[in-house]
A and B are shown apart, each in its own frame.
Chain A
Amino acid sequence: MIRIGVITFPGTLDDRDALRAVRVAGAEGVPLWHADKNLHQVDAVILPGGFSYGDYLRAGAIARFAPVMELVIDQAKQGLPVLGICNGFQVLTESHLLPGSMIKNNHRTFICREQALSVENTATAWTNQFTPGQRITIPIKNQDGQFVVSDQQLAELKAEGRIVFRYRGWNPNGSREDIAGVTNQAGNVVGLMPHPEHAVEPGFGPDGAAGPRQGTDGLGFFASVIRHVAGIKQPVAA
């Protein structure tokens, strides 16, 4: 069974939901601790949402130097699939695995709502089960969610198709060009502010066409990485 690690930092609060989402999608969830000095042979890693080390300096800034992150950064550069959700996205930008950064929402208030997104890149390890341009709805909840990036890096992101998700209907935090998530050049590292792990089970997800709380659009993230890892594990055909 494919093993997907979920890191818990001091202050992480969505680790259990992420582990559950992994199991619901059909993989084995492996809890990882911020002080771990090995990755326990996982096939992919999720940095879940919440807070880390109080986020006193900047969101994600101290988590980036946690012992387990040294391993994640090294392995991510060699192709390990890594998904950063919310605070996890901020840890990935602080780690320089993804460009840009997040600052306080432009309206300066915390938000918690269901958010429509479009999937702009379906070639990544975490989005290959979506169709290009597909609209999905998953929850978003944050105060430091405004994505900022330099003009030069924005031009690179657009030229290389590395904007993975855009906010639709409403830009909830003032993010540049409605960007909700981005990927690295290789497509194995993806970060986004909204929370796919909260939309994987009917009855506990966002409202959808099937009725209240029936939305399971988040499942595609986990199904995608399972397929990605399975593809890598297949023997190379002669």
Chain B
Amino acid sequence: MARVIVDVMPKPEILDPQGKAVASALPRLGFTQFAAVRQGKRFELEVEGPVDQAVLDAAQQAATTLLSNPVIEDVVAIRVEGDQGGAAQ
């Protein structure tokens, strides 16, 4: 079964409180290499059958209408991933 992966990130100009919370925790664990953290969302849309252009178009539409809010978020990537597990069918 193939998956369409949609990555959504908070817009660069929007404060990302979740990322800031993670960033402030990292040094406490000794991870001092990272200057900043931003936290986004990854959606895995499972597709039965082949991923054709119509499926990708639908994923694009879903990404911009439901999965993200254009006021605060950007859809940064939409890509197809095959099933590495070799499932039956």
Check if A and B associate: yes
What per-residue 1/0 map shows which CB atoms of B29-66 lie under 8 Å from chain A? 00000000000000000000000000000000000001
Let me know if A58 and B69 touch, CB within 8 A. Answer: yes
Q: Does B14 have its Cβ within 8 Å of any Cβ on chain A?
A: yes
Q: State which of B15, B17, B67, B71 has its C-beta within 8 Å of the C-beta of A149.
A: B71
Please give, as numbers and ranges, the residues of chain B lying within 8 Å of A149 by CB-CB distance: 71
Number of interface residues of A (CB under 8 A): 19
Number of A-B contacts (CB under 8 A): 35
Let me know if B69 and A108 touch, CB within 8 A. Answer: no
Shortest beta-carbon distance, B45 to chain A, in Å?
14
Q: Does A105 have its Cβ within 8 Å of any Cβ on chain B?
A: yes
Let me know if B71 and A61 touch, CB within 8 A. Answer: no
Q: Does B72 have its Cβ within 8 Å of any Cβ on chain A?
A: yes
Please give, as numbers and ranges, the residues of chain A lying within 8 Å of B15 by CB-CB distance: 103, 106, 146, 148, 174
What per-residue 1/0 map shows which CB atoms of A91-103 lie under 8 Å from chain B? 0011000011101
Give me the interface of A with B, judged by CB distance under 8 Å: 57-58, 61, 65, 93-94, 99-101, 103-106, 108, 146, 148-150, 174
Give me the interface of B with A, judged by CB distance under 8 Å: 10, 14-15, 17-18, 20-21, 66-67, 69, 71-72
Q: List 20 A-B contacts (CB under 8 A).
A: A58-B69, A61-B69, A101-B69, A101-B71, A101-B72, A103-B10, A103-B14, A103-B15, A103-B72, A104-B17, A106-B15, A106-B17, A108-B21, A146-B15, A146-B17, A148-B14, A148-B71, A148-B72, A149-B71, A150-B71
